[in-house]
């Protein structure tokens, strides 16, 4: 007898991915999630502040026979978040999934950080998820009678290492996730969080990274492996699927075991 756990429940559904672009053909966390969901039959709205980056993700999806639409959006603006959800409903008729994937890094202690930079990081890393969820959740309830949300945090939320503002913002993402899970469980909406470790993504290597630094990051994992956007994308796909139907308000650490070892102050953001 087939149970709900035997059906991934992704085909025919609609997902909204913020931060779904990436430089050139690089695989960032959002692009990987968008591609993997599309391969499973999900229709994907790919949003990014730079439209051309989202369009490239869509081109990659369409080339494989998937369905996706790109939209330029600044998710720190409430009007943009509202318009993004409306575009999703207008284009696909429903909204089932949301992957809150936007974030930036920062370095320094509270003494070193400028107040304006602290506010900027909190706005982009936390408030953007608040705003997009604010409009996505009612749409999920109305058009799909429920849904699932994944918020992207970081292992910096669990293991501070000299990136105080970034750590604070990513810890807030965990708190937001748990609160949303409690608030909207009765609406049949699951909300979970992923904490990636040191992934090799376009956002990281665009700043410049030597092969030695890259190898050192891989050694930080107890598996001695390098994480990529695909690792996060597969985790997003799992948490949005029916395989995770009894999982909500949880934090999934995707770091190869980096957080099992003693923390070190890092020169590269996670």
Which residue among the candidates 166, 200, 205, 243 is catalytic per the annotation? Answer: 166
- Rounded to whole angstroms, the Cα distance separating 135 from 130 reads 9
Which is it for strands 14-18 and 97-100: parallel, antiparallel or unpaired? parallel
Whether the Cβ atoms of residue 269 and residue 166 lie closer than 8 Å to each other:
yes
Is position 118 annotated as part of the catalytic site? no
Whether the Cβ atoms of residue 73 and residue 80 lie closer than 8 Å to each other:
yes
Residues pairing with 163 in the sheet: 108
- Rounded to whole angstroms, the Cα distance separating 103 from 123 reads 9
Whether the Cβ atoms of residue 96 and residue 140 lie closer than 8 Å to each other:
yes
For residue 117, give the 3-state DSSP assignment.
helix
Residues assigned a catalytic role: 166
């Amino acid at each position: 007898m087939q149970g709900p756990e035997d059906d991934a429940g992704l085909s025919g559904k609609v997902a909204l991915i913020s931060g779904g672009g990436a430089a050139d053909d690089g695989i960032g966390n959002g692009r990987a999630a968008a591609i993997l969901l599309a391969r499973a039959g999900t229709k994907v709205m790919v949003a990014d502040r730079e439209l051309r980056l989202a369009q490239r993700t869509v081109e990659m999806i369409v080339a494989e026979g998937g369905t996706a639409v790109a939209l330029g959006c600044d998710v720190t603006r409430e009007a943009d978040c509202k318009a993004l959800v409306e575009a999703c409903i207008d284009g696909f008729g429903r909204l089932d999934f949301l992957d809150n994937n936007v974030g930036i890094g920062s370095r320094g202690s509270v003494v070193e950080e400028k107040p304006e930079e602290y506010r900027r990081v909190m706005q982009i890393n936390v408030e953007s998820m608040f705003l997009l969820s604010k409009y996505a959740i009612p749409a999920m309830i109305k058009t799909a009678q429920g849904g699932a949300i994944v918020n992207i945090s970081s292992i910096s939320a669990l293991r501070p290492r000299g990136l105080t503002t970034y750590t604070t913002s990513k810890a807030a993402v965990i708190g937001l996730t748990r609160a949303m899970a409690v608030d909207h469980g009765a609406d049949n909406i699951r909300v979970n969080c992923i904490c990636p470790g040191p992934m090799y993504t376009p956002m990281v290597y665009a700043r410049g990274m030597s092969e030695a630094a890259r190898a050192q990051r891989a050694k930080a994992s107890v598996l001695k492996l390098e994480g990529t956007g695909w690792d996060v994308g597969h985790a997003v796909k799992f948490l949005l699927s029916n395989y995770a139907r009894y999982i909500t308000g949880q934090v999934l650490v995707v770091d190869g075991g980096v957080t099992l070892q003693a923390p070190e102050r890092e020169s590269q953001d996670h």
